[in-house]
Structure 1
Amino acid sequence: MTQSTVPPLKVGLVGFGYASATFHAPLIAATPGLQLAAVSSSAPGRVHAAFPDAMLYATPEALYACDDIDLVVIATPNDTHFPLARAALEAGKHVVVDKPFVLDTSQARELIALADARSLRLSAFHNRRWDGDFMTLSQLLAEGTLGRIVHVESHFDRYRPQVQARWRESGAAGGGLWYDLGPHLVDQAVQLFGPPATIWLDMEQQRDGALTDDWFHAVLGYGTMRVVLHASALTAIPAPRFTVHGTQGSYVKHGLDMQETALRAGAALADGWSADTSDGVLALHTAQGVVEQAHATLPGAYTQYYAQMRDAILHGAPVPVTAESAHDVLALIEAGIASAREARVVQLRGQV
């Protein structure tokens, strides 16, 4: 069979909240070789309006019982990820879990062991590895443009002054910004620089009526280099998304990657949809002194995630994000919580 005649992998989506409707469903639907075949949701009207050809199931268990579903994608409240993923693996399905993968490393290890025992593909949706600005920074570091890196700041600043009645902002396990945005920022840092030697985390509830953390500031130690990870819900004038200083110069990039905004607006995933027209700024040391120049941002590539997941299932290629790397991110999330609780720097080398 040629690629065009291979039957598509059938995907079942568990949950149809913001993450599913904005990210997973449109990305799956746009990926050749995948078919969004079924959805388990408590909002069947919303699902039918967006994907009228998908089968609807009232419960995840009913969806898992379908023999022709190859891949299950779980995009539900964080504290449900583990039991839903375990049940899907036990039903013989390949599994993608939205971030955070699960709530702790012991849950992650159990899922990894179960997937390995059944020869199933298991991956976490750390989609921000395919942010255009992150890929641009990765390229600059690989080329050595900035010299030896000494200081990095990675900010995810938003202005959302009103606490919303939703699970992400509740006091439930897995709620709060550290579990919501922390996994993205931690994962990006580890992808760029490997596991840190230390972590120090401060987090707070700053909005009126906040039930969980809506501000955090983490410092990862890498010898003489420091990587600062920061997020806030009360930042009307955001800091740069990335600020990077090295021995040969600096790179600064303002503005969040635009793929989420485009997906939320229902953009057709055609050529150019993921472009980021906001250039970064490079300030490089030259014989004439420090010279500033605009530095174009690479297009984002969220569509690569499900294309790689398809190839992992069909052709034995690597999954786009390994469950083991998601486990290591959770180890840092846990260490950060210990740091904040005990008001100390946590030593990590050899533990992550």
Structure 2
Amino acid sequence: MSTPAPLRVALTGTGYAGATLHAPLIDATPGLQLCAVLSRQDAAEVARRLGPLRAPLTVHADLDSLLREQRPDLVVVVSPNDQHVRQASAALQAGAHVVIDKPLALSAAQAAPLTALARAQDRRVSVFHNRRWDGDFLTARALLRQRRLGRVRWGQLTFDRFRPQVRARWREGDGPGAGLWFDLGPHLLDQAVQLFGWPQRLRCERMRLRHGARADDAFECTLAWADGRHMQLSASMLAAQPRPRFALHGDHGSWIKHGLDPQEDTLKAGGRPDRLTAGQRWGADPQAGTLCLADATGQPAAPRAWPTQDGRWPDYWLALTAALRGHGPLPVPLDEALGVQRLLDLGTASAAQDARWLPCTAPA
């Protein structure tokens, strides 16, 4: 049986997300071939930013010419947030499948037409919610499935950074889709829904804490479920000593994990999953979590280290490749991403109403 030709992939940008997170993972995935990028930079600068690739690629300054001349099978949209829907729509109309870097859009209403367009074009759309393949998230999911913590009633999902100086970049500007809520909120909302299901209500506060901040650089969002469970999602750009990334508390005990998943830092340092040295494991997190369970008397036993699973971002691209060939579901279907977008919209509305509680209508 012959091996099918690789799916030709185009990338709509060579900024941080495109060059650091997407290009190396796409290039490392069997069955995918990065063939073209959209960039205003010349070919030499693009080659410098992306580093050595398995196959040559073309650089286009215009999306229409890229789609017309290269006819990619898959377009990965990594442009600023306000361009996501426009570029995804153009790719679908050109007959390409689409992956959109989170967030899906500026609003659920803006993104909704993509469903009908994808169906009309018989193409598939997925969103890169890569934090589903973080090692700490996978560990949390395993603990919940094993019911080691009992019924989890309260928890915190946190994403802290220390960047006290406001930088001249669109994510920290005052344009549409800027700010930390749109940057990190989708990660935390998606993880919470994947772990605990659809919440009943939500409230959110978005803050500007740094001198000269033009967009929110911190937020606190609380999700509540019908059974009384509450989860606090928060992020800040002013945390030199970050809070726990995960803290889950149940009636059998607690699990706490500090430190971010290492895959992004590995990619920033030039590492790739297809270029590991002997004995090296992709996504290996040396920082264990702490598990504290109740003993036979119902009192907390001595805390113990709980190993963190290896992160598996490459699994997203492997599952996507299989799905586009008709072998399995999309790793993140469009309807799930639309649900996250609805919660993102609700958070924006709640923050505009002084952190008022708002109901979370379940997706149809």
Instruction: Tell me if TM exceeds 0.5.
Output: yes
Shift of 1:149: 0.6
Matched, 1:314 2:317: no
Q: Is the 8 A contact 2:135 2:261 kept in 1?
A: yes
Shift of 1:6: 1.5
Matched, 1:273 2:282: yes
Which of 81, 86, 89 is residue 83 of structure 1 equivalent to?
Answer: 86
Any idea what SS the aligned residue of 2:113 has?
A: helix
Shift of 1:225: 0.9
Paired amino acid for 2:239: T
Q: Is the 8 A contact 2:24 2:272 kept in 1?
A: no
Which of 331, 337, 340 is residue 348 of structure 2 equivalent to?
Answer: 337
1:237-289: per-residue Cα shift (whole Å, max 9, x none)?
11100011000000000000000000000013135131001000000012164
Q: Which runs of 5+ in 2 are unaligned?
A: none
Which of 162, 168, 171 is residue 171 of structure 2 equivalent to?
Answer: 168
Any idea what SS the aligned residue of 2:300 has?
A: strand
Aligned residue number for residue 212 of structure 2: 209
Aligned residue number for residue 347 of structure 1: 359
Query: Structure 1 CA distance, aligned partners of 2:45 and 2:328?
Result: 34
Matched, 1:18 2:16: yes
Matched, 1:282 2:291: yes
Query: Structure 2 CA distance, aligned partners of 1:100 and 1:179?
Result: 7
Shift of 1:56: 1.2
Matched, 1:230 2:230: no
Aligned residue number for residue 155 of structure 1: 158
Shift of 1:134: 0.3
Query: Structure 1 CA distance, aligned partners of 2:148 and 2:126?
Result: 32
Query: Structure 2 CA distance, aligned partners of 1:195 and 1:107?
Result: 22
Which of 64, 79, 92 is residue 61 of structure 1 equivalent to?
Answer: 64
Shift of 1:351: 6.0
Q: Is the 8 A contact 1:12 1:36 kept in 2?
A: yes
Query: Structure 1 CA distance, aligned partners of 2:95 and 2:52?
Result: 25
Q: Which runs of 5+ in 1 are unaligned?
A: none
More divergent stretch after superposition (237-246 vs 46-55): 46-55
Query: Structure 2 CA distance, aligned partners of 1:69 and 1:121?
Result: 14
Paired amino acid for 1:152: G
Matched, 1:188 2:199: no
Any idea what SS the aligned residue of 2:294 has?
A: strand
Query: Structure 2 CA distance, aligned partners of 1:321 and 1:69?
Result: 21
Any idea what SS the aligned residue of 2:328 has?
A: coil
Any idea what SS the aligned residue of 1:113 has?
A: helix
Query: Structure 2 CA distance, aligned partners of 1:209 and 1:189?
Result: 31
Query: Structure 2 CA distance, aligned partners of 1:6 and 1:187?
Result: 33
Q: Is the 8 A contact 2:9 2:36 kept in 1?
A: yes
Query: Structure 1 CA distance, aligned partners of 2:317 and 2:152?
Result: 32
Query: Structure 2 CA distance, aligned partners of 1:90 and 1:316?
Result: 24
1:200-252: per-residue Cα shift (whole Å, max 9, x none)?
10111110010010010000001311110000000111110001100000000
Paired amino acid for 1:159: F
Shift of 1:17: 0.3
Superposition TM-score, scaled by structure 1 size: 0.97
Which of 221, 226, 249 is residue 245 of structure 1 equivalent to?
Answer: 249
Q: Is the 8 A contact 2:153 2:228 kept in 1?
A: yes
Paired amino acid for 2:15: G
Paired amino acid for 1:242: F
Query: Structure 1 CA distance, aligned partners of 2:132 and 2:114?
Result: 22
Query: Structure 2 CA distance, aligned partners of 1:313 and 1:229?
Result: 33
Paired amino acid for 2:110: Q
Q: Is the 8 A contact 1:108 1:323 kept in 2?
A: no
Query: Structure 2 CA distance, aligned partners of 1:250 and 1:198?
Result: 24
Paired amino acid for 1:81: H
Paired amino acid for 1:287: A
Aligned residue number for residue 31 of structure 1: 29
Shift of 1:317: 1.8
Any idea what SS the aligned residue of 2:145 has?
A: helix
Task: Indicate the percent of aligned positions where both proteins have the same amino acid.
Answer: 46
Superposition TM-score, scaled by structure 2 size: 0.94
Paired amino acid for 1:168: R
1:164-212: per-residue Cα shift (whole Å, max 9, x none)?
0000001110000000000000000000111110101011111001001
Any idea what SS the aligned residue of 1:155 has?
A: strand
When the two structures are aligned, how many residues end up with a matched partner?
350
Shift of 1:43: 2.1
Aligned residue number for residue 47 of structure 1: 46
Query: Structure 2 CA distance, aligned partners of 1:179 and 1:268?
Result: 27
Shift of 1:51: 4.7
